[in-house]
């Protein structure tokens, strides 16, 4: 699957795009972490939930459940919210 990587995580991938596999979102993130060690921790918290400043879109729809089923043709976009004051 094509995975679009936000700027803040490109220090792991060295690119704005990555390829990963998995039958579920959890498996896809595990595959990304195998390829780019440490990236999953920046996306998923200690309670195994998507971090509150991260959004994941699959084919344009926001997904929060790590159990969400994926197909090889899916496009995955990881977005990191910016904050400041």
Q: Alpha helix locations (H) across 1-85?
A: 10-13, 25-35, 39-43
What is the distance between the alpha carbons of residues 53 and 1, in angstroms, rounded to a whole number? 23
- pLDDT means per 10 residues, the chain with 85 residues, are 95 96 98 98 96 96 97 96 66
- Residue-level pLDDT at 55: 96
**Could you give all domains of the chain from N- to C-terminal order, each with its CATH number?**
2-80 (3.10.20.30)
- Residue-level pLDDT at 38: 97
Listed residue (61, 60, 58, 54) closest to 82, CA to CA: 54
- Residue-level pLDDT at 48: 95
- Residue-level pLDDT at 36: 98
- Residue-level pLDDT at 19: 97
């Amino acid at each position: 699957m094509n995975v679009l990587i936000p700027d803040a995580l490109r220090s792991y991938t060295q690119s704005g795009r990555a390829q990963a596999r998995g039958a579920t979102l959890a498996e896809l993130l595990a595959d990304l972490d195998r390829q780019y060690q440490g990236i999953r921790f920046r996306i998923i918290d200690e309670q195994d939930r998507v971090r509150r400043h991260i959004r994941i879109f699959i084919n344009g729809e926001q997904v929060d459940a790590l159990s969400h089923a994926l197909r090889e043709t899916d496009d995955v976009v990881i977005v990191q919210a910016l904050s400041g004051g």
